[in-house]
Amino acid sequence: MRVSGVDRALAALACLAGLLGVALSAAAAHIPGADSLKTSAQFLLFHAPAILALIGLSAAGLVRAGVARIAAGLLVLGLILFCGDLSVRAWLQHPLFPMAAPTGGFALMAGWLAGILCAVIPARRGA
């Protein structure tokens, strides 16, 4: 079993999401009215293991690698936009850019939809 550079990068980004989720959870616990940071932390912590699972399933040959990478990539992109926007709004009092959070939310939903495709499209034999 060989893990590609893309898979390693996605796994590293998933771990970064977990790290940031813990950090934002701690920050939210100490900042009054930091509900958006709490939401951001939860999203990071919920999606980090999903990204790792997609990469693991791909590396094990249990799902099509391309579909798993697309799903994981969409989840990463969605986290960057959604959580980035919520965090920037909490700390800097302005959005990341207009429609960043909704765009991130749609990317997250597309990532989960691609995850469904991973589950229902059979892996290639001998891959």
The pLDDT, as a whole number, for residue 125 is 73
Q: Is the CB of residue 55 less than 8 Å from the CB of residue 111?
A: no
The pLDDT, as a whole number, for residue 36 is 92
Question: For residues 12-44, b (16+ Cβ closer than 10 Å) or e, as one string?
Answer: ebbeebbebbeebbebbeeeeebebbbbbbebb
Residues 98, 122: Cα–Cα separation, whole Å? 39
pLDDT in tens, 74-124: 999 999 999 999 999 998 989 999 999 999 999 999 999 999 999 999 887
Cβ neighbors of 57 (< 8 A, separation 6 or more) are: 63, 68, 118
Residues 63, 26: Cα–Cα separation, whole Å? 36
Q: What are the boundaries of each domain within the chain? A: 5-120
Residues 108, 48: Cα–Cα separation, whole Å? 12
- Mean pLDDT, range 2-27, rounded to an integer: 94
pLDDT in tens, 48-74: 999 999 999 999 999 999 999 999 999
- Mean pLDDT, range 7-30, rounded to an integer: 96
How distant is the alpha carbon of residue 60 from its chain centre?
A: 20
Full DSSP string of 52-107: HHHHHHHHTTSS-HHHHHHHHHHHHHHHHHHHHHHHHHHHHSS-SSTTHHHHHHHH
The pLDDT, as a whole number, for residue 57 is 94
Instruction: Please say if the pLDDT value at position 8 is more than 90.
Output: yes
Closest by CA to 17, choosing from 80, 73, 61, 63, is: 80
The pLDDT, as a whole number, for residue 72 is 98
The pLDDT, as a whole number, for residue 123 is 85
The pLDDT, as a whole number, for residue 1 is 61
pLDDT in tens, 36-54: 999 999 999 999 999 999 9
